[in-house]
Amino acid sequence: MRLLHLSKGGRQTDLTHLAQRMTWSGSYQEAARKLDVELTVSATDYWLRSPAVELADMLLLVSDEGVELFRGYVFGKSKTLTGNTLTLNAYDGMIYLIKSELSRQFQNVTAEQVAEEVCRELEVPAGDMAYTGIPQSFPHLAKTGYEAIMTAYTTAGRQNARRYMPRMNAGKLDVIEKGTVVAKRKVLASVHITESSYGENLEDMVNTVLLTDEKGNSLGHISRPEWVSSYGLLQKVYQQEEGKDLVTMAKSLLQDYKKDASLELLGGADAYDLIAGNAVQVRESYTGLNGLFYIDEDTHIFENSQHMVSLELNFRNVMDEQEAETGEKEEPSGDIDENPSEEDEIWLYLKKYGPEG
C-alpha cells in the first residue's frame, strides 16, 4: 500500500515509509469517505523529518497493484511537542458538496440533472450519474449540494423502488444504484472472519400505511397482515401528493423488522471493494450470517503490514433519504397505478381514489 502527498503546487511526495497506521473508512449516511493517517516523524532523524503537508493538499492511497483507492484533501492535521506522530485527516471530494450550500428552484428536472447542475455550480467534477428519467420540481434554499442531490434521488427512488448513493471515483462524482455491485470476495467463516455479531429489532418496522387524500380524508390502507398478526399494529400515514403514484409511495413506507450484523475479517487485495454501497456474500452459520448483505459502513485499517476490515451489514438495501422542502408542488411525473401487482402480496383496501384524488 502506498501513501502519496500532492501539494497544491503539484509536487508529489511518497509518504509510505512514514505511515505507521492508516484508517480508510466510509458510510452510506456520511457520504464522504475518510482517510486518517498516523505518520512517524522526528526532529532529529533526517529520514523521518516531518513532511510539509498543508491543509487542502491532496492525499492518495494506492494499492500495491496500482489501483487508486482514495483521493482526498487534508482537512485536519495535528502534532504534539513531545510525540513523534503527525496525524492527518483527509476526506474525498464529496466533502465539498457536504460543506457548501446553495439556493435554487429546481423545475421539471431529473435527479441526474440536479446532480450535474450542483456539481457545475460547486465546481466538483461530474462523473456517471445513475439514470432515473423521472422529472420533478422542488425548492432548495440554503441547504447543501449533497442534500440537493439526495433529495432528488430520494424522490425518484420512492417512485421506482431503487436506492441510490453518491460516490467519488478518481476525483469525479458518480451516483450509483446502491447494492448492485457485489464484492468479489465471498466472505467465509473458516477463512476470513475473526469476529461476527447479529441482531434483530422492531424499532423501524411499519406494517400498515393509512392512505388519505390531500385534505386528510381516509382512502383506505395498505397492510402486511402477517406482520400485524406477529408483531402488532405499527402504522404510518401517507397523504396523497399530486403527481405521485399513491400505491407505490405507500408501499415504499412498509418496512420489515431490522436485521443487522457486523463482521471483522482479514483483508487483502480482494477486499478493497468491501465498501459502503456495495453488497457482499457471507457464509457464517453460527450467528446466522448466510446470504447476501448490504454494506452500510466499512473500516479498513492498514498497520504493521496487515490489513484488517470491519463491516456493518444490513439485510435491507437502504439509502440516505433527504426530504424536499414544502411550499411548491411537484410537477406530475406519472399516472396513479390502480392495478397493483398481486405478486407484491400486499392487501390494498381503498374506499375511493383516482387520478383526481
Instruction: Give the SS3 label for residue 96.
Output: helix
Rg (CA), the chain: 24
Give the pLDDT of residue 42.
81
**421506482: which residue's cell?**
160
Give the pLDDT of residue 46.
66
Give the pLDDT of residue 329.
37
Give the pLDDT of residue 297.
97
In contact, 37 and 60? CB cutoff 8 Å: no
- The Cα–Cα gap between 138 and 106 comes to 5
Give the pLDDT of residue 356.
41
In contact, 202 and 325? CB cutoff 8 Å: no
Low-confidence ranges of the chain (pLDDT < 50): 328-357
HEC string for 108-127? EECHHHHHHHHHHHHCCCEE
In contact, 164 and 128? CB cutoff 8 Å: no
Give the pLDDT of residue 241.
84
Give the pLDDT of residue 189.
79
Give the pLDDT of residue 347.
41
**532529529: which residue's cell?**
44
- For 117-192, strand residue ranges (E) read 126-129, 136-144, 164-169, 172-177, 182-188
CA distances for 132 relative to 97, 104, 135, 162, 244, angstroms:
21, 21, 9, 9, 15
Single out the residue of 71, 63, 69 nearest to residue 12, CA to CA.
71
Single out the residue of 307, 317, 229 nearest to residue 278, CA to CA.
317
